[in-house]
Amino acid sequence: MTKSTVRPIVIAANWKMHKLRGEAMEFLDELATYMDEHPQGLGSRVEVVVAPPFTSLELAVEHCPPHARIYSQNMHQDDHGAFTGEVSPAMLRDLGVDGVVLGHSERRQYFNEHDGALAEKVVAAAEFGLRPMLCVGETLEERQSGAAEDVVRRQLETALGDLDVIKATSSGLSIAYEPVWAIGTGETATPEIAQHLHAVIRDELASIFNVEIAERISVLYGGSVKPGNAGELLANVDIDGALVGGAALEVASFSGIIGAALDLVAATPSAGAR
């Protein structure tokens, strides 16, 4: 099987709680230079996402590199209300933000974010024109017990069950598979393990929506992705990009991952159809 020509490869930088405004500006300027020098394939075939902390969101929107999108790392599901410390989808749209990362494993682990709340957030993001990037994945204990597939299917079914087919098609929904045991540990799922879970995710998306929609949703891998392993991971038929943490804090390493994606689409005979 060959890689789909209907799904873009998405390379996303999750800065987490890193970078002050000046550091963010330096990164964006340097990334813009790289993207100006490598325009072939960017935008239609390879999409670049940057998810800075809230303090740099407005700056990032104003200085967004060409062919890139700016995502928030989280949001509340209501458009307003007495929720001290939260940020609404309306506020993100007012800033000009393109999308939002939802359900990152650190949000689940440290802030007790659960699938029921994520179901509301996914719908709210879609209704406000924000592209939802839903994160799913199993812990080491769940993998060792043989429950990885069941966990990921349950997370998808609960979080996406209230999203109708039309919104699933038009919202720009993407999924990020994060094996929790590989995040920030230096461990990486083998390409075979990653591909298998990505195929499971696509199968579950077909069950929730339909096969045609499932074939159009980009499914990213997130778990210690680096320039050295990006090409091997992205070559798999169901791996449509990378959600990058540590390697996204420096343009040199992040651009190496973008470069791996560009090399892949350049080598794909049908890449021009992307």
The answer to whether 257 and 226 are in contact (CB under 8 A) is: yes
Q: Active site residue: 47, 104, 113, 138, which one?
A: 104
Residue 104 annotated in active site = yes
d(CA 137, CA 221): 10
Q: How far is CA 250 from CA 40, 150, 246, in A?
A: 22, 35, 8
For tokens 């060959």, name the residue. Answer: 2
Cα-flanking dihedrals φ and ψ of residue 223, to 5°? 170, 85
Q: How far is CA 93 from CA 126, 133, 134, 231, in A?
A: 11, 16, 18, 34
d(CA 89, CA 128): 6
Quick one: how far is CA 133 from the chain centroid?
5
Residue 212 annotated in active site = no
DSSP label at 129? T
The answer to whether 42 and 262 are in contact (CB under 8 A) is: yes
d(CA 124, CA 134): 13
d(CA 40, CA 211): 30
d(CA 144, CA 115): 22
Stretch (H or E) spanning 230? helix 227-234
Q: Active site residue: 142, 178, 198, 204, which one?
A: 178
Distance, first Cα to last Cα, the chain: 16
Residues classed as catalytic = 104, 178
